Amino acid sequence: TLLNLQPCIVIHCACMCLFLDNHVITFKEEGVWNYSTMLIREDLGLLVLGAREAIYALDINDISVAKSKVPWKVTEEKQKECTSKGKHPDIDCRNYVRMLHQMNDSLMYVCGTNAFSPTCDYITYGDGRLKLEGKQEDGRGKCPFDPFQRSSSVMVDQDLYSATSLNFLGSEPVILRTSPFPLRTLFKSSWLNEPNFVYMDVVPESEDNPEGDDDNPEGDDDKVYMFFSENAVEYDFYNKLVVSRVARVCKGDMGGQRTLQRKWTSFLKIRLDCSVPEPSLPYIIQDVFHVRHKKWRKSVFYAVFTSQSSTDLSSAVCAYNVTDISEVFSRGKFKTEVTVEMSDVKWVMYNGELPVPRPGACINNAAKSAGIMRSLDLPDKTLQFIRDHPLMDDAVRPITGKPLLLKRGPLLTRLVVDDVTAPDGQSYPVMFHELFVLSSCMQALRLGLCRCPSAAAVVIFPVWTVCWPETLTVPGTPQCNSALE
């Protein structure tokens, strides 16, 4: 695939042999599998690792060294109960650690599948060892029942936001906040339609900008963004068509007084567009990485997508500016259901008058000036509208208008993005990112991304021949062509 992007030029790289097998530091323990959850604790010098029926504290500077281990096994009674429901005793009916979050300096929150009976607990690290507190809590709605079902979560000011399933069968999806005002999504296909949850994070829009700029003149609330795929309701298709979404809720949401009691009043969702040049079914989101900026409007979500066609093994990476996403939620059109020919239901753009305050909006200065101080004060017309119209008509386009990367072959499933300093140690008016993407066949790839004021180019290298730029991308030069391998 060839990207023709202007105006910048990519200078040659000096290659180094890095990350050869004998230089890779690994951790593994005999008889332990599914190292699926990680939490970096730089303050403690630890990588906390969740596995099947065990939690480890690894030395952050040498992860081959396990400083501490705490077992978290399923009880024999729970295992028998799980097996009696038709699940495999050694595959399904174990405790898979699926969630780890920091609570404070020493306290962490951990959840596991616990033989299809999700359970959460608290874990501490002190005097060089991990300790499971034994204060077990019901994990339903926080952690999946099924160890192989995807879920996402984020801890915001010690309040847990989670996206998973509420029941044993995995058929009741939910986006949930557990405290101080427990809220959840409606169990309705227009809200969530067989979703596959991918990622969740907070954007602190209400925080003061450290540079003193007013980044929030409307007095808006912090937002929690969720990324997932689901069956589309808005398209006519002979089979189920999966699309990628981003949804968001307001941190200060307290639910409605009569309508939407203990339900989100701010839940909205939009389609994520990561269109490839040739006609195809929508690509499906697999992973997201949030590159935060001290000015929240400059924050970027990077996402990796794969084709949903069984005959097309290809992947794409797209980047989305938080401002663009926020703009669609704040000013975009809604979709509405209409009945066609007495039976068929279609989703079309809503052209009617919107209730005031705007449905799905957070409580901002304008709402407060009208006497609406919290979501419990919202009028029923606003709440009834958002209950029936959670889907926006517009889609979010990537920053560049197209994928940063298109790759055929093994499907890419994970990515990490990081700012890097130029080799000469100086600061330049361009930003360099490195994207690490892990393919399904376990081949690691490093992608170097150069960003210019109005352009971007991506070069992909196998991990064993990583290139480091000898010189920098120069803005303003005539061409910027980059071949993608």
In tens, the pLDDT along 360-412 reads: 999 999 899 999 999 999 999 999 999 999 999 999 999 989 998 888 887 88
Q: Where in the chain is the domain with CATH 2.130.10.10?
A: 215-409
3-state SS, 422-477, equals CCCCCCCCCEEEEEEEEECCCCEEEEEEEEECCEEEEEEEEHHHCEEECCCCEECC
| DSSP H or E run through 365 | helix 365-369
Dihedral sign, Cα of residue 367, residue 369, residue 375, residue 379: negative
Tell me the C-alpha distance between 48 and 98, whole Å.
Answer: 12
Tell me the C-alpha distance between 13 and 467, whole Å.
Answer: 6
Chain centroid to Cα 145, Å, comes to 20
10 Å CB burial of residue 157 (0-12, 13-18, 19+) is exposed
Instruction: Find the farthest-apart pair of alpha carbons in the chain and give their distance in angstroms, rounded.
Output: 70
- CB neighbour list of residue 20: distance below 8 Å, 6 or more residues apart: 464
pLDDT (0 to 100) of residue 336: 95
Tell me the C-alpha distance between 360 and 383, whole Å.
Answer: 8
Q: What CATH class has 215-409?
A: mainly beta
Count of Cβ atoms closer than 10 Å to residue 294 Cβ: 12
Which residue ranges in the chain fall short of pLDDT 50? Answer: 1-22, 210, 212, 427-436, 440-444, 448-485
Task: Give this prediction's pTM.
Answer: 0.84
Kind of pairing between the strands at 173-177 and 183-184? antiparallel
Tell me the C-alpha distance between 366 and 393, whole Å.
Answer: 24
Tell me the C-alpha distance between 292 and 302, whole Å.
Answer: 11
pLDDT (0 to 100) of residue 339: 82
Tell me the C-alpha distance between 185 and 253, whole Å.
Answer: 12
Tell me the C-alpha distance between 249 and 290, whole Å.
Answer: 17
| Contact by Cβ (8 Å): 82, 117 | yes
3-state SS, 113-164, equals CCCCCCEEEEEEEECCEEEECCCCEECECCECCCCCCCCEEEEECCEEEEEE
Tell me the C-alpha distance between 213 and 17, whole Å.
Answer: 44
Report which residue type is found at 382: T
Backbone angles phi, psi at 388, to 5 degrees: -100, -10
